[in-house]
């Protein structure tokens, strides 16, 4: 991988998955099939890689497992297939995080790119009016934060390279796909143009809102440090990521958040 995630995890290819070092833990991957995401695609009947992507939820260093459980914090790792989904790049279908049993706000998510180039698309709402819409382009080593309650999807920008990334999540994570599926995807859909570069198509099932394409913010107000893996930052200061299972700790930041 092009960026060291801070613990001994390596991607495996053909089939996709992860290999864990002797001091680490992690489950077999869960595969997301092409059929399971067709309802959110621009061309639901398209061909493409299958599985589209593979997820390992709850990975990390064995020594950290008791603390991660205590904090209700979970680290996930994801690997995407190379290729494309018809006119679209390989991507997740888009969802909103549900509120957990202990919090009045849905949990945020902290992404870190390890290989390939990602575009984390997000919009304030999955309703008819999506609110502010951002496409955040991230290279290996860069971090993207999705704030509480925003609908989002992760996109692989290069069809010839497999995207690999990790993310801090709430251990009680749950996904809501209903509104995204009802709108046949998110408010902006990525497509490959004639030069095989990503362009964006507005989804007519939403009220039109302008799309802002940008690089990630620096997130210094959340204590993140550029160039240091988010797992290593947890090791140095576990409380730093308490806002993931308890987003109300940073409610003043979420109100005017710019990713």
pLDDT digits (tens, 9 = 90+) for 58-85: 999 999 999 999 999 999 999 999 999 9
Q: According to the model, what pLDDT value does residue 10 have?
A: 96
- Please check whether residue 203 is in contact with residue 103, taking contact to mean a CB–CB distance below 8 angstroms: no
Query: Does the pLDDT at position 41 exceed 90?
Result: no
Decide if 140 contacts 2 (C-beta within 8 A): yes
The tens digit of pLDDT for each residue in 156-173 reads: 999 999 999 999 999 988
Tens digits of per-residue pLDDT, 22-36?
999 999 999 999 999
Q: 87: number of CA atoms within 13 Å, CB side?
A: 12
> Is the model's pLDDT at 214 over the cut of 90?
yes
pLDDT of residue 244: 95
- pLDDT value, residue 175: 84
Are the CB atoms for 169 and 231 separated by under 8 Å?
no
pLDDT at residue number 105: 87
* DSSP letter, residue 99: P
Residue-range domain boundaries for the chain:
9-254
Residue 242 to residue 102: CA distance in whole angstroms: 14
Asked if the model's pLDDT at residue 101 lies above 80, the reply is no
Q: What is the pLDDT of residues 117-156, one digit of tens each?
A: 999 999 999 999 999 999 999 999 999 999 999 999 999 9
Phi, psi at 235, each rounded to 5°: -60, -40
Q: Pick the more confident residue, 258 or 175.
A: 258
Rounded Cα–Cα distance for residues 53 and 79 (Å): 6
SS3 128: coil
219-232 pLDDT, tens digit each: 999 999 988 999 99
**pTM: predicted TM-score of the whole model, two decimal places:** 0.95
Comparison of pLDDT for 47 and 98, the residue scoring more: 47
CATH topology of domain 9-254: Jelly Rolls (2.60.120)
What is the C-alpha separation between 94 and 98, in angstroms, rounded? 13
Cα–Cα distance between 59 and 65 in angstroms, integer?
9
pLDDT band at 204 (very low <50, low <70, confident <90, very high): very high
Displacement of CA 170 from its chain's centroid (Å): 13
Question: How confident is the model at residue 112, as a pLDDT?
Answer: 98
């Amino acid at each position: 991988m092009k960026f060291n995630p801070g613990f001994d995890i390596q991607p495996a290819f053909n089939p996709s998955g992860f290999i864990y070092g002797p001091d680490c833990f992690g489950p077999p991957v869960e595969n997301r099939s092409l059929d399971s995401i067709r309802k959110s695609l621009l061309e639901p009947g398209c061909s493409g890689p299958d599985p589209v992507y593979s997820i390992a939820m709850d990975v990390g260093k064995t020594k950290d497992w008791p603390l991660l459980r205590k904090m209700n914090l979970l680290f996930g790792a994801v690997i995407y297939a190379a290729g494309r989904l018809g006119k679209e790049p390989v991507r997740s279908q888009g969802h909103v995080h549900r509120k957990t049993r202990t919090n009045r706000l849905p949990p945020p998510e902290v992404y870190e790119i390890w290989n390939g180039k990602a575009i984390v698309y997000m919009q304030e709402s999955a309703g008819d009016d999506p609110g502010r819409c951002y496409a955040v382009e991230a290279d290996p080593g860069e971090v993207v934060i999705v704030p509480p309650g925003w609908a989002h999807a992760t996109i692989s920008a290069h069809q010839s390279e497999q995207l690999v990334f990790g993310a801090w999540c709430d251990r009680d994570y749950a996904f809501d796909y209903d509104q995204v599926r009802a709108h046949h995807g998110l408010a902006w859909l990525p497509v490959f143009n004639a030069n095989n570069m990503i362009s964006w198509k507005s989804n007519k099932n939403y009220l039109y809102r302008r799309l802002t394409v940008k690089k990630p913010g620096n997130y210094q107000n959340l204590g993140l440090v550029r160039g240091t893996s988010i797992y290593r930052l947890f090791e140095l200061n576990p409380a730093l990521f308490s806002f993931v299972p308890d987003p109300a700790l940073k409610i003043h930041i979420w109100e005017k958040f710019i990713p």
